[in-house]
Chain A
């Protein structure tokens, strides 16, 4: 901790500047929260402040009018499917790159590193045409496969950097007991890796829940759209009904906020370390 270097007066000015920036970060969210429980009538006289009259019916009204039961289910399906598939393939690859190191696997690592920095604009059109050809457009399966590919490089490296620190002796001992490679993976590596599985899972879930470009491009049928693109459409459909708009937005933020409160450190370390290695 670098604390000794400041005098009292400096500490106070530090706090003032930090509080100003914290307010810039938080107040816009507070306005959104206020507006979600404000009656639509009140927006004319009190557009920014806390509501004079609290109206929770905004949520039920938005829920019904936006058919959010279905939309939530769509998003949830995408999140669960992508987390599951992406973790499965990334755990296997991370394990191999960390502990087995087959000859030539460096090529895969380099390929995935390059893959992280390819802009989506390069491949989105051929991918769209390919998905149309094999009838994966407007399906959740199609989008889950895309999300898996998008997040797999990051997850693989995160898992690899964790598994590389697992002691080699464990694996050697298991080998001597006659375990084959699959047993090493399922019986030794996986049970020891739950912290990184949780971190990677949370980051993938967040990325999928928030994703916009691919959801916009690959799902055009209303009934299959996830939260992100429905909310975008909702902003146009109920252009001046700010109460409903804000309530829907809060519904999309709420799961993220709850998970963030529970797993702050995991989110922060996962999101920054993933970037740091990429």
Chain B
């Protein structure tokens, strides 16, 4: 049994526990799901192979279509608003001396909070009587007079707003790490040329932080796929599916209707989408994009 005390083999002992737990919890169930999406299983009884029927059903499912569109809107919203605000704040932060640390902590702290907490805070603040709506009414404005969570046209954006409020501080910190690495001489040279604040941002800061910037774009796209907590807690996807997202729809298919095959098909779809995004960014890196 010499091989088991071989140095190379001992090194493997150290990796086994992680590999085992991860395979047990995530790897094997993932493979099971990739197989179950081709069946009509409902968690009990016989498992019948039905080919791609679940996927054919998926493409006819108008609630899922609504959910996919909402996820796309969600992704676009996150790629614009929090990114824009975070870039602005990070850039302004590099231009001040005092209070840098304070601002950084203030922006970052909401990122540390649990989704339930953030949802509770904003459910209260968007309450038409107690929250901001009541406040605006007292000063004579009619704004937020009904809860945006219960209005069809605004529910998705209201939920995305709460998640974004909690998330953008994370982006500030990421962009800051990139901006601190920019050589100060570049700005001094630009000053001599008489460049404006915006020009300096556009032609020096932005190109110099491209690696972190592209990274942030990638994680936003990937993290926008499985959004669940905020939708489930705040609106449950309603009213009338107006804030439904894929993860929440999948959850109801799985744990309310117990349609294992169908929910696995939705999970499979999400998985392949994420893998394509990851592969795309990997290819960009190969192609010399310097990410």
Chain B minimum-CB-distance residue to A217: B255
What residues of A have a CB within 8 angstroms of the CB of B247 in the complex?
Answer: 119, 121
What residues of A have a CB within 8 angstroms of the CB of B255 in the complex?
Answer: 128, 217
- Interface residues in B107-131 by Cβ distance below 8 A to A read 107-117, 120-125, 129-131
Cβ of B171 to closest chain A Cβ, rounded Å: 10
Q: Determine whether the beta carbon of B110 is less than 8 Å from that of A272.
A: no
Interface of A is mostly: helix
Contact with B114, one of A28, A47, A120, A212 (Cβ below 8 angstroms)? A212
What residues of A have a CB within 8 angstroms of the CB of B120 in the complex?
Answer: 32, 231, 235, 245-246, 249
What residues of B have a CB within 8 angstroms of the CB of A127 in the complex?
Answer: 25-26, 29
Contact with B29, one of A24, A123, A185, A232 (Cβ below 8 angstroms)? A123
Q: Which of A88, A117, A185, A217 has the most CB of B within 10 A?
A: A117
Q: Determine whether the beta carbon of A93 is less than 8 Å from that of B95.
A: no
Q: Determine whether the beta carbon of A96 is less than 8 Å from that of B15.
A: yes
Interface status of B250 (Cβ within 8 A of chain A): yes
**How many positions in chain A have a CB within 8 Å of any CB in the partner chain?**
99
Cβ of A263 to closest chain B Cβ, rounded Å: 11
A1 and B197 alpha carbons, distance in the complex (Å): 16
Cβ of B272 to closest chain A Cβ, rounded Å: 10
With A92-B15, A96-B11, A108-B19 as given contacts, are A121 and B267 in contact (CB-CB < 8 Å)? yes
What residues of A have a CB within 8 angstroms of the CB of B200 in the complex?
Answer: 5
Q: Determine whether the beta carbon of B274 is less than 8 Å from that of A117.
A: yes
Interface hit among B58-66, B86-94, B149-157: B86-94
Q: Determine whether the beta carbon of B117 is less than 8 Å from that of A249.
A: yes
- Interface residues in A212-237 by Cβ distance below 8 A to B read 212-213, 216-217, 227-229, 231-232, 235
Interface status of A60 (Cβ within 8 A of chain B): no
- Interface residues in A77-121 by Cβ distance below 8 A to B read 88-90, 92-93, 95-97, 100-103, 105, 108, 111-112, 114-115, 117-121
Interface hit among A63-71, A192-200, A252-260: A252-260
Interface hit among B49-57, B72-80, B140-148, B221-229: B221-229
With A93-B14, A103-B8, A231-B117 as given contacts, are A153 and B22 in contact (CB-CB < 8 Å)? yes
Cβ of A117 to closest chain B Cβ, rounded Å: 5
Chain A minimum-CB-distance residue to B271: A122
Contact with A271, one of B14, B27, B93, B111 (Cβ below 8 angstroms)? B111
Interface status of B160 (Cβ within 8 A of chain A): no
Chain A minimum-CB-distance residue to B7: A181
With A119-B225, A121-B246, A213-B229 as given contacts, are A126 and B33 in contact (CB-CB < 8 Å)? yes
The digit string for B1-38, where 1 denotes a CB below 8 A from any CB of A, is 00000011111111101110110111111101110100
Interface status of A176 (Cβ within 8 A of chain B): no
Contact with B17, one of A24, A89, A246 (Cβ below 8 angstroms)? A89
Contact with B96, one of A11, A130, A180 (Cβ below 8 angstroms)? A11
Interface status of A26 (Cβ within 8 A of chain B): yes
With A28-B125, A93-B17, A96-B14 as given contacts, are A272 and B229 in contact (CB-CB < 8 Å)? no
A54 and B19 alpha carbons, distance in the complex (Å): 53
Interface of B is mostly: helix
Contact with A185, one of B14, B129, B134, B169 (Cβ below 8 angstroms)? B14
Cβ of A252 to closest chain B Cβ, rounded Å: 6
- Interface residues in B93-108 by Cβ distance below 8 A to A read 93-97, 99, 102-108
Q: Determine whether the beta carbon of A145 is less than 8 Å from that of B25.
A: yes
A227 and B264 alpha carbons, distance in the complex (Å): 29
Q: Which residues of A are at the interface with B, using a C-beta cutoff of 8 A?
A: 1-6, 10-11, 14-15, 17-18, 21-22, 24-26, 28-29, 31-32, 35, 43, 47-48, 88-90, 92-93, 95-97, 100-103, 105, 108, 111-112, 114-115, 117-130, 145-146, 148-150, 152-153, 156, 180-182, 185, 206, 209-210, 212-213, 216-217, 227-229, 231-232, 235, 242, 245-246, 249, 252-253, 256-257, 260, 264, 267-268, 271-272, 275-276, 278
Q: Known pairs A11-B95, A15-B99, A92-B14. 10 more at Cβ < 8 A?
A: A2-B180, A25-B169, A92-B17, A115-B27, A121-B250, A149-B26, A181-B11, A216-B232, A249-B121, A268-B173
Pairs A–B under 8 Å by Cβ, sample size 30: A2-B179, A2-B180, A18-B89, A18-B103, A21-B85, A21-B107, A25-B106, A25-B110, A25-B169, A89-B17, A96-B11, A117-B222, A119-B226, A119-B274, A120-B228, A122-B34, A122-B267, A123-B30, A124-B254, A126-B28, A145-B24, A145-B25, A152-B22, A210-B115, A217-B255, A227-B114, A249-B120, A253-B117, A267-B112, A272-B170
